């Protein structure tokens, strides 16, 4: 089940307006989607997203910066009655939370729900939202973002380019150390670069590339150093390369975190497969969920 969220625009807003909850649920979710679309036009930091399952439109979610200009919030969250109880809401919530964290670096994310909405309460508690306040009709919940370890897109956080280059130069090779510059210089889907931060320090890096281009010292390659850039395959795309974790941080599953993130980003870009090579077992093809 491939769940994605895409910004609401002229191509999808009518499809989202056709979605609806059940008659019973309208007692706690009485506001139609068209209302939220109208409100978002006047809220500077509010953005709405269509929720999709594959190519089907199944719901609506939105969020942005709270009135304090610091915290994030999520509102609304709506899943069409035909697609409920399938895990879609939880996945959409995680995607929306990640979007707020990437864009605004928020310390916490707020969400409210009616007290009689027990399904919402169960979902939000499972995702880590705790009740910090309440009104006569609603519970006010908050999620505290843990920034000890996080993965950021370099395109969205170009201020980390220099530390990324330093990591790659010291712990991979000179050719690869140019990847951050190439990521920021491109307006195309590729290349993409993702950095792993721990305690506000770059400790890992991975990228998505249309083709795998290698040069210099290649791990697992028994031949001589490659003097010029070589494309390993013209037919396979995209590639995860490289996958680098600082030596002092290895053994903590950070490489797995980076790999899974790159896989998810490839899926978000519309690819069903992604490729990588390792020195031990050569080419690998990864099927995306």
- Band of pLDDT at residue 132, cut at 50, 70 and 90: very high
pLDDT at 37: 66
CA distance 286 to 289: 9
141, 197, 206: which is closest to 172 by C-alpha?
A: 206
Whether 106 and 118 have beta carbons less than 8 Å apart is answered as no
pLDDT of 54-72, one tens digit each? 999 999 999 999 988 889 9
Bridge partners (DSSP) listed for residue 134: 139
Helices (H), the chain: 13-17, 33-40, 88-104, 118-126, 161-171, 179-185, 254-268
Please calculate the CA angle 235-153-189 and round it to the nearest 5 degrees: 35
Please state the pTM of the whole predicted model.
Answer: 0.57
CA 234 to chain centre: 28
pLDDT of 78-119, one tens digit each? 898 898 888 999 999 999 998 898 788 899 999 999 899 899
Tokens standing for residue 99: 């979007």
pLDDT at 208: 94
CA dihedral 50, 52, 57, 58 (to 10 degrees): -90
Which structural domains are found in the chain, ordered by start?
3-144 (3.40.630.30), 149-287 (3.40.630.30)
In our burial notation (b when 16+ CB lie closer than 10 A, e otherwise), range 207-239 reads bbbebbbbeeebeeeeeeeeeeeeeeeeeebbb
Residue 82's CB: how many other CB atoms inside 10 A? 11
């Amino acid at each position: 089940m491939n769940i994605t969220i895409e910004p609401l625009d002229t191509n999808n807003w009518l499809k989202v307006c056709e979605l609806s909850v059940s008659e019973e649920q309208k007692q706690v979710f009485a506001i139609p989607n068209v209302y939220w679309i109208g409100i978002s036009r006047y809220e500077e930091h509010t953005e709405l997203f269509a929720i999709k399952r594959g190519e089907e439109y199944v719901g609506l979610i939105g969020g942005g910066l709270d009135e304090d200009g610091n915290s994030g919030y999520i509102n609304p969250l709506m899943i069409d009655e035909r697609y409920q109880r399938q895990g879609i809401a939880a996945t959409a919530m995680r995607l929306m939370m990640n979007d707020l964290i990437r864009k605004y670096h928020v310390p916490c994310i707020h969400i409210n729900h009616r007290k009689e909405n027990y399904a919402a309460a169960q979902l939000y508690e499972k995702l880590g939202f705790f009740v910090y306040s309440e009104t006569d009709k609603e519970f006010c919940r908050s999620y505290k973002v843990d920034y000890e370890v996080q993965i950021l897109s370099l395109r969205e956080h170009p201020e980390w380019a220099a530390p990324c280059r330093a990591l790659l130069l010291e712990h991979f090779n000179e050719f690869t150390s140019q990847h951050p510059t190439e990521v920021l210089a491109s307006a195309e889907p590729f290349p993409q670069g993702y950095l792993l931060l721990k305690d506000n320090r770059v400790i890992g890096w991975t990228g998505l590339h249309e083709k795998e281009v290698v040069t210099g010292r290649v791990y697992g390659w028994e031949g001589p150093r490659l003097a010029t850039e070589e494309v390993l395959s013209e037919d396979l795309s995209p590639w995860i390369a490289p996958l680098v974790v600082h030596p002092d941080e290895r053994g903590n599953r950070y490489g797995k975190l980076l790999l899974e993130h790159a896989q998810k980003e490839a899926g978000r870009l519309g690819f069903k497969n992604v490729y990588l090579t390792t020195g031990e077992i050569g080419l690998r093809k990864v099927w995306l969920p």
